Structures are given as structure tokens and as C-alpha cells.
A and B are shown apart, each in its own frame.
Chain A
């Protein structure tokens, strides 16, 4: 059993110990939010449906009004046409008076209210709320996936993968620690006697690294090797 295996096992055990209530609470929260989103989706559907119904009823009414007005207008036109075909003075007077009265009343109606503003330009669109229901349904699905209880197999897989990731990531560091430990354990080679103290080849820092110093200044004593 090597160091990596021991680490992996202990880390996995520790991780199991920490897997507790906070995640369960998160899953419960996800279920609640998913239910809320689903309810919102249902209500949006009802609102859309209600608005469509109102819109459809208004369109039906408009169409009815338009057809009724057109029918009445055709009847009137037919009567006027019949008068126009008749050449007696009464018919001519009827056609003339009809057109004259209509034009006069139209002209008066068009200019009757010019001076008074009743704030008629009020149909500017007010921002409403068009929710993309497809996104809402995707959201519900995602939340439910998040809230799904983990099986023993899933949990085991997660912890093994997590442990492997930790082990892999820490392996290099542990190897480095082991190398350092071995290096410190190896006794240093004895310094050659003909070399003066402070020779860079035996491990003293170069003058640049050690900072500025006087050339004739006495060198510090070397630390004892552990």
C-alpha cells in the first residue's frame, strides 16, 4: 500500500463524513423552486389563453360591426343609385341633399373637437411580460435534475472520482515532499580544504543574491545541516 493509496482512502472517508444535510436542503429547495416555476408556467398558460380569448372576442365583434356597417352602406348606396337613375326633380333633390348633408356633417365632425385635448394618445404600449415558456420548462427540467436524489452508485462514483482528482492533483506535491525529505536526509559532501570559505560551489549564495556586501567583510557562519 503506497502513500497515494493511503491518502486516497482517507480522503474518501473524510469526504463521506462531510456529505450531510446541506446538500439535502439544497435538493429540497430545488424541488420547491421547480414546483414554483411549474406553477408559474401553468398560470402563464392560463393568462395567455384568457388574453387570446378576449382578443378573439374583440376581433369577432369588430368583424361583426364591420360587416353590419358594410351591409347598411350597400343598402344606402343602392337607394342613392336608384334615386340617381330617376330623373324627376324630387329624386334629384334627394340625391343632392343627401350628399350635401353628409359632406357638411362630416366636415363639422372632423373639426368639432380640435381645441380640446382629452389625452387620446394613450395607447402607447406599456411593457408587459412575455415570458419565453420554453425557457421556463427547460428551467423546471434542470431544477428537477438538480433535485434528483443521488443513488448509492452515483454517490460512490462521485467520491471515487473526487478522491482520484485529489490524489492526482496532490501526487506531484507529495513526490516533491518525498524528494525534499530524502535530500535533507542525505549527508552533505565535506568541503574541500583548499577552497576559501564562501566559495559559491559549496552552496553559498552568489553575491548578487546575498545582497550588497563589502568585499573584505567577514562571511557569516554556515548553518549546521540537520
Chain B
């Protein structure tokens, strides 16, 4: 190789250039390290193996099986209590004292009043009990009927969920609800109010029935009040769209900023409308405080839904490179299309508690988004929204179980009142249980009639367990299981949020380690530099 010295000089020049090229970016660039890249890739794989979605399946199955056993054990206990009570009455050698004592004791627990003094008092109380039970059943049926009518109307009008939001009692009127459902919504609200008033009436009584009814009445009032005060920020959010556009419809940035400010204000007002102290007590008394200011709050859920949908659409715009809100934008007047896009951008800006940024370039119909940041925001919001929705549903199911418990108590009270017939009938006053047992039911005379009364009264007495206590116990057991489930969801929401942040950090770490200047790339640079140097030397020789 007769060209050696010159080539070495050339290489010296190339290497000098190389040093300069590498030193220039200095701290900005880095070298690829295969070991670090392999480790970070393994870390990424380990993190992916953390199955946040699949989870706790075995535990859920175990919980389901445990609930079945709890329900079965609770029912067995109620049946055993009933059988023991029946035996005690049938074996009552002292006459009828055992029956009177048991009846009076349970009635007092339930209503605060023991056995009736005489037949007249019994008839009056029995009539009132029947009316209360009938009113409750009618109110519940009316509630269901009003809900069905609302749904049927929504289906007939082909309305989506946003324009026909699900009805709950006590519930929230959504500002986005279609005015075409006003009539059905008013009927449902009326049915809810009637139910609340019935609870208030039953709550004037004493005992377990009165206490539970009073708490439910307070809950109805407090949720109505909360919805009333929360409606203002929600309506403000809806109205902001029109008022902001009125500023300057041509100035995209100004409009978006106005919407952002308005929505931030609405969110703050929403956060600043806590339940009143008295109302909070109702939530706590029923262990349903998650429906108040907690993660099960319907107002909070409504807002989270809005935010998730907005971020999803902004990401969709970003992916498609054009505005695609609600159908084909090409078929829409430009003004409508642009208005929708403005709303979405403003909502994305209003995502609170995140670092998401949306860059507006000041030109109508164009904006830029940091997709990765919004994707992270979307994941975090989705966890919160899904958890909130689950907790809300669990809380509303527990509220339904409380309704069921009220009906079970009303039925138990009615059965216990009816079971007094034999004990209060003047014709049977002198007859013991033993005598009535051996008498032939339906036979001639007082003995036959009392024998019939005894058997009918005993059936009513036993019914108090099977239509009353058993159902109330079932409600309690199910409610406890759902409450525990809610606690589990709350914990897992927090864990999942941490998992999302961790995954994002690990992905960033891997991006760093997977990049960097690789040896083969640098070798190519060196070769090219040498080649350039040779060519340059030839040219300038």
C-alpha cells in the first residue's frame, strides 16, 4: 500500500472532524449501549407482564362463591330461628304467653310499638300497615313505569345516551338531555318525589322501619339538593360554548381560550359545591357517602365522561389529520364542523390536574396536540371514569337493596300484625294454644273457629320470617358484599393510576436506552469521512 502515509494523514483529519462532530452535541447525544438496551427492554417486558386488566379473577370468583355461602347461611339461620319460635309456641304449656311475648318483642323492634291492646286497635293498625305496604309497592311500580316510558320515548326518537341519559332516583337532570324528553322526565321526577315523601311519612314512625325510612327520605332530599346546586356549573359549561363563540368567531385561539377559562370556572364551581353537613349525614347514615362527594358522585361521573370523550376525539383528530367529530365532516357545513372542533379542543385544555398541552397555531381549523401526553391523560382519566362508574353503580345497587329492606320490613310488620288474630280475638281469649291445637279446625262452635285462627295466625307468624326477615337479611348480606367490593375498586383505582405513571416512565427509559449512536453507524461515519478526505486530497493536490 504505497499510499499509507497520506491515508494516515487523511484519517487524522477525519478523526479530528469526528471528534468535533461528537463533542459538539456533547451532552445532547449518547452512545448506544447494548447491555443497557437489553436490560431496559427486559424491564419493559416485566412491566407489560403486570396484568392490570385481567386481575383478581380468582379473588372475584372466590368472592362470588363466598357470597353464595353467606346468603345460604343467613337463610339457614332465619329458618332455624323461625322453627325454634314455632316449636316454642307449640310447646307452650303455659297457655299463650310465649307467643304473645315473641310477637310483642319483634313488633316493638320493628315499629316501636308492641302488640295491640284489643281487636279495635288491631284492625286500625292492620289497615294502616296494609296501606303503607300497598303505597310502597305502588310507588315503586310507578317509578319503574315512568322509567320505562322515558326509555321507550328515547328509543322512538332514536336518541343517543348523551341526549337520553339513564334515569336514577334520586337523580340528576343532565343539561345535555333532549327537550323532547321533558314530559317523561317530569313524570319520573314526580315518581321519585312521591317515593321520597313516602319515606318521609314512614320515617315518622319508630323502630328499625322508621329509622331506615327516615334515612332514605334524608338521602332523597340531599341528592336532590346536590343535583340542584351541581346543575348550575354543568349548565354553565353548556352555555359557555355559545357565549365564547360570540366573542369573535373567526379567532380560533381567542374562542378556545375563552372556553377553557369558562370550563375551568365551571369545574371549580362544581368542586366547590359540597353536600351540606346535614345532607352528608344522610349519606353516611346509610354508608352511601360515595354518592355524595365521593367517587360515586353522579356529577363527577358526568364530568369525567365529558373529559374522556373529548380527549378521545382530539386524539382521533390528531390521528386522522382532520376534524372528524360526529360523522363525516365533509357532509357538514363548515361552521358546524368548526364549532364542534372548538369545543373539543377547549375541553381537552380543561383537563384538570394533568400536564397535557394543546398547541394552537392561531389558524382556523388547525391545531397541534402532543399525542403521547394526551394518550397518557386518556389512560388516567379512563381509570378514574371507569372506577367512578363502578362505584356509582355499586352504590346505586346498595340503595336498591335498602328499598328492598324497607319493603321486607313492611311485609314483616304486616305478617306480625296479622299473626295477632288468634291472640286478640275475643272468642279465643280463654283458649290456650294446646286446646286450639287439638280442636278440629272448621268444626262447629268457638273451638273449631279458634283452631282455624290458630293455624292461620301461625302461618302469618312464620311468614314474618320468610317474607320479611329472610329478605331483609339477604339485603344486608348483599349490601355488605357490595360495600367491600367498592372498597376494593377504590384501592385498585389508586394502584392502577400508579401503574400507568410507572409504565410511562419505563417506556421513556427504554426509548432512551434503545436509541443512541450505534457502533456500526459510527463505523459508517468514519468510513465516509475517510472517503471524503481521500477525495478532497485528490481534488486539492
Known A-B contacts A13-B19, A116-B137, A146-B509; the reply to A101 vs B455 at CB < 8 A is: yes
Which chain A residue lies CB-closest to B403? Answer: A118
Known A-B contacts A105-B465, A129-B55; the reply to A184 vs B538 at CB < 8 A is: yes
| Residue B151, interface by CB 8 Å | no
Q: Which of A116-175 contact B (CB under 8 A)?
A: 116-120, 122-123, 125-132, 135-136, 138-139, 142-143, 145-146, 158, 162, 165-170, 173-174
Residues of B with C-beta under 8 A to A29: 505, 508-509
| Residue A202, interface by CB 8 Å | no
| Residue B22, interface by CB 8 Å | yes
Known A-B contacts A3-B8, A26-B509, A79-B91; the reply to A69 vs B73 at CB < 8 A is: yes
Return B405 CB to nearest CB of chain A, in Å: 9
SS class, residues of chain A in contact with chain B: helix
Verify A170–B46 contact, CB threshold 8 A.
no
Verify B394–A122 contact, CB threshold 8 A.
yes
| Per-residue B-contact encoding for A57-93, CB less than 8 Å = 1, 0 else | 0110110011011101101100110000000011001
Bound-state CA distance A178–B26 (Å) is: 31
Within 8 Å by CB of B530, from A11, A69, A93, A174, lies A174
| Residue B157, interface by CB 8 Å | no
Q: Which of A33-41, A203-211, A216-224 contacts B (4 or more CB under 8 A)?
A: A33-41
Within 8 Å by CB of B83, from A26, A76, A118, lies A76
Which chain B residue lies CB-closest to A143? Answer: B43
Verify A118–B404 contact, CB threshold 8 A.
yes
Known A-B contacts A104-B459, A182-B3, A226-B538; the reply to A125 vs B523 at CB < 8 A is: no
Verify A169–B520 contact, CB threshold 8 A.
yes
Within 8 Å by CB of A30, from B33, B52, B79, B509, lies B509
Verify B466–A66 contact, CB threshold 8 A.
no
Bound-state CA distance A142–B38 (Å) is: 10
Which chain B residue lies CB-closest to A17? Answer: B23
Interface size class of A (residues with CB under 8 A): 35 or more
Within 8 Å by CB of B57, from A22, A108, A125, lies A125
Residues of B with C-beta under 8 A to A70: 76, 80
Among the interface residues B390, B491, B513, which one has the most CB atoms of the partner chain A within 10 A?
Answer: B491
Return B498 CB to nearest CB of chain A, in Å: 6
Verify B25–A94 contact, CB threshold 8 A.
no
Verify A15–B66 contact, CB threshold 8 A.
no
Known A-B contacts A120-B478, A146-B40; the reply to A169 vs B519 at CB < 8 A is: yes
| Residue A195, interface by CB 8 Å | no
| Residue B198, interface by CB 8 Å | no
Residues of B with C-beta under 8 A to A19: 30-31
Instruction: Contacts A72-B84, A97-B90 known; list 14 others, CB within 8 Å.
Output: A11-B18, A22-B27, A58-B484, A66-B72, A76-B83, A97-B458, A109-B470, A113-B404, A118-B401, A125-B64, A128-B56, A128-B489, A165-B523, A178-B3
Chain A residues at the B interface, C-beta cutoff of 8 Å:
2-3, 6-7, 10-11, 13-15, 17-23, 26, 29-30, 32-33, 36-37, 40, 43-44, 47, 51, 54-55, 58-59, 61-62, 65-66, 68-70, 72-73, 75-76, 79-80, 89-90, 93-94, 97-98, 100-102, 104-106, 108-110, 112-113, 116-120, 122-123, 125-132, 135-136, 138-139, 142-143, 145-146, 158, 162, 165-170, 173-174, 176-178, 180-182, 184-185, 226
Pairs A–B under 8 Å by Cβ, sample size 24: A7-B15, A21-B27, A47-B491, A59-B66, A62-B69, A72-B77, A105-B465, A112-B467, A118-B401, A126-B390, A128-B55, A129-B55, A129-B495, A130-B57, A135-B46, A138-B46, A142-B43, A142-B46, A166-B519, A170-B526, A173-B523, A173-B526, A177-B530, A177-B534
